[in-house]
Amino acid sequence: MNFIQILKLRSCQEWFSTLPVFLLLLSVIIAGNGEQIHARLLNVGELIWQDYFTLRVDIAIPQCNPDVDIEAELQKLEAESSTLDGMEDLFDAVLFDREAALISLQNARQLCVQKHQLAEQNQARITPSVVIFRTVETGVAQISLLAFEKQRMILILTIFICAVTSTLKQHHIAFRPIVTLKDHHVSTLAQLLGNSIMLLSAWFYRINIYQSATTIDHPEVFLLSIVGFAALIAANIWQFFKPQFSDEFHIKNHSHSQALLTIPLYIFMSYFVGFYFFVIEDHWAGPAIFFSLLFDQAGLFLNIGLYIWVGMLLKRTQLGDLVFKVFIPWRLSPELLAFVAILVMAVPTAYTGASGIIIIAMGAIVYEELRRAGARRQLALAATAMTGSAGVVLRPCLLVVLIAALNKEVVTDQLFSWGLKTFMTTSVVFFVFAWISKREKMHIAPVQEAFKPFLRALLPLIPYVAIVLLVCLSYLFLLDVTMDEFSAPLILPVIIFWIIVYEKLFVRMVLVASPEKDAHKFEYTMRMASSESSIHIGALLLLMGLSFVLGGVIERSGLLSSIPETFSSPWITLSFLVVVLVGIGMIMDPFGAVVLVSGTIAQIAYNNGINPVHFWMITLVSFELGYLTPPVALNHLLTRQMVGHEETAMAALEGDSFWYRHEKILLPLLTMGTTLLLVTIVPVFFV
């Protein structure tokens, strides 16, 4: 197949979105791993060549003369001193100190000799092997340094390329999907206005910076923001006049109020912040200033993009299916299997640091496997929405690390210790409510009947476990890097890469019945996973960016400063904190919310005698309850986005009672609500 044929086989999205995003994410992985490789190369260089750091550059031959005639120099200095005798009226006469000059010249000659010796030794030790090694080492260092310096630019390119893709695919996070032509027109016009607000703000931000004559550290941030929001507006205009018609557009139009629900959440946020900054504060650059704060934590949000990419790659492997097959011999009832899914998914959540990320990354796998095992749709949707809610308090969750970094009153060991107890509480509460709401008696196969099939089901997982161990051990022994919250975004893609290679080369289970032609090919898997990732990355990161702006409005409005510093009792304090924290969880992403709470509400809790560790456990559980609470219920919106509108629509038609018709909402609410009450009240009697 020649290059022209390849060009014709790839869509515009693949060339202008999928490929650039793949390269950007790949550059993040290469740069991150390059940093670890460079540190290891320095250690290796020091082990092979003593004082390797002196060999990293060529030491130039000094210009000084090591064989200088000291006596001649003394005479020269004495002669120069005598020329000043005629100026003794202007300066105090100073006699020439021959002894001091001699010592100075001898010291200078000795220093010059040492410099020449060092340069000669350096040149003698720089062998061809040293030249080759240091070329590789310094090259890796330059690549890593360049990528680190360009993190902001990489992030902003990733956000807007993916955001344009999400716009064209009509895949932004909203209360309802677009299913009619009216939905399309209402949503597109609303996006056009919201993106125009952000473009206008970015333009004023640029003008203000240049007028202030201040030093601009990262001019590409606001320049690319202007280009990015302009590209979103262009996509809205093109899409409005050329909608992507489908059979769903033949559905009878519903009311305008329902059509308004198809407007993305980030657009509603842009209206609110635009009104506040433009009308109330007359600060036109405000939204763009707070939006640019997202890029100050570029590494963190690039990691989120990597996690989503890993999830899309994992979805195209057989690992999820094989893991859930392990539980088939036990013939678990749907409720028990949902409980197991909550426990299993807590581990990846602890590494990704946010429940919303893990829903995007692995929500589809969880739902499909629960449905395959016989779980009703409402229960499967409830478990999927709660996929990561229990794991955000476990080691090594990045959210907990961020809390400890922003608050000197707590340390990670304390938070993770309490977090384990909170996780166990959430798990038990979920099990209790699942047991109460069961439709049939909970059952599990006898051990003597299920154990051997269970062991046989474990066998296909051995190669996967071996790959994980080999990659982790390679990082440990070759680079001295362990898998933690900092290295996981860089190691997990490598693990998934080798898993895909293993499946394509050795697993003889080609999905012949799959409607996707070439599903067994490595290139196809990477391309399709990257294409899906670009859609979800754009939707989530754009929402997070506007959450930062919304946090800025809350902070500048003085809304939180009007809160009393002290309350009459700890119970009133706790009740107030719970309400406020759940409300914040309903409208903000977890990372932006932690920053906001650390600077405002946390101090109120400390002033009222609330134990700092206790307060942050309440905060994390409150956030998770907020993400599951209507009318926003972000985790449910993400679940619908991953599972599909058709499945959620069919789930709404199921159930013969109020509970079973709304189980996807009620079960998570009762679970996290009860957990929040327990986490809030019980420690008061022991702390």
| 68, 317, 383, 457, 486 from 314: Cα distances, Å | 72, 5, 19, 19, 20
| 268, 315, 348, 406 from 414: Cα distances, Å | 38, 35, 21, 15
C-alpha gyration radius of the chain: 32
Q: What is the pLDDT of residue 513?
A: 41
Q: What is the pLDDT of residue 5?
A: 46
- pLDDT means per 10 residues, the chain with 687 residues, are 49 79 91 87 88 79 81 77 57 66 83 84 83 89 84 94 93 89 92 97 88 71 92 94 62 71 94 96 93 88 89 86 89 91 88 79 86 90 91 87 89 93 96 91 90 94 96 92 84 93 76 51 87 91 92 86 80 93 90 87 91 96 95 90 88 89 95 97 84
User: 643 near 545, Cβ under 8 Å?
Assistant: no
User: 246 near 170, Cβ under 8 Å?
Assistant: no
Q: What is the pLDDT of residue 575?
A: 94
Residues written for the chain:
687
Those residues with Cβ within 8 angstroms of residue 161's Cβ, 6 or more apart along the chain or in another chain:
16, 17, 20, 21, 24, 534, 538
Supply 244's token pair: 């992507």
Supply 200's token pair: 């206008």
Q: If we measure between CA atoms, which residue out of 612, 625, 558 comes closest to residue 585?
A: 625
Supply 146's token pair: 């360049």
Distance CA 547, CA 629 (A): 17
Q: Assign 3-class secondary structure to 321-389.
A: HHHHHCCHHHCCCHHHHHHHHHHHHHHHHHHHCCHHHHHHHHHHHHHHHHHHCCCCHHHHHHHHHCCCC
Tell me if residue 56 falls in helix, strand or coil: coil
Distance CA 45, CA 620 (A): 45
Those residues with Cβ within 8 angstroms of residue 555's Cβ, 6 or more apart along the chain or in another chain:
596, 599, 600
Indicate the pTM of the whole model.
0.85
Return the exposure string of 264-289: e unless at least 16 CB atoms fall within 10 Å of the residue's CB, then b: bbbbbbbebbbebbbeeeeebbbbbb
Distance CA 483, CA 473 (A): 10
